[in-house]
Amino acid sequence: MEVEIGRGKKGRRAYGFDDIAIVPSRRTRDPDDIDITWTLGPYRFELPIVAAAMDGVVSPAMAAHMGALGGLAVLNLEGVWTRYEDAAAELARIAELPPERATAEMQRVY
């Protein structure tokens, strides 16, 4: 569905986390009757979750764990994890900065 976003311009409706809610049903389903697997091209995933490609969400270790559980985690290839030998130390250092300095340091790191 398209929405008008300006004179002669249209955009697609997008949904964020706050726009979607899962409401329980009055009926229950037997877990053996449910298939939550999904495919992306030739890849099949058992867990219907995709982790966001954000440094604060997905680390290489988290991506490996998510894959082992059957989900998909996307690593930001232009983020901190691929720019620094010890990215965890960089992120820990930034996390300890006061808020007024953290933004400037994040901009420098990226």
Q: What is the pLDDT of residue 23?
A: 82
Per-residue confidence (pLDDT) for residue 67, from 0 to 100: 95
pLDDT, average across residues 99-109: 90
CA 1 to chain centre: 24
pLDDT, tens digit, for every residue of 9-65? 888 888 887 888 888 888 888 888 889 999 999 999 999 999 989 888 899 999 999
| pLDDT value of position 8 | 84
The string of pLDDT tens digits covering residues 66-102 is 999 999 999 999 889 999 999 999 989 999 999 999 9
Binning pLDDT at 50, 70 and 90, where does residue 104 land? very high
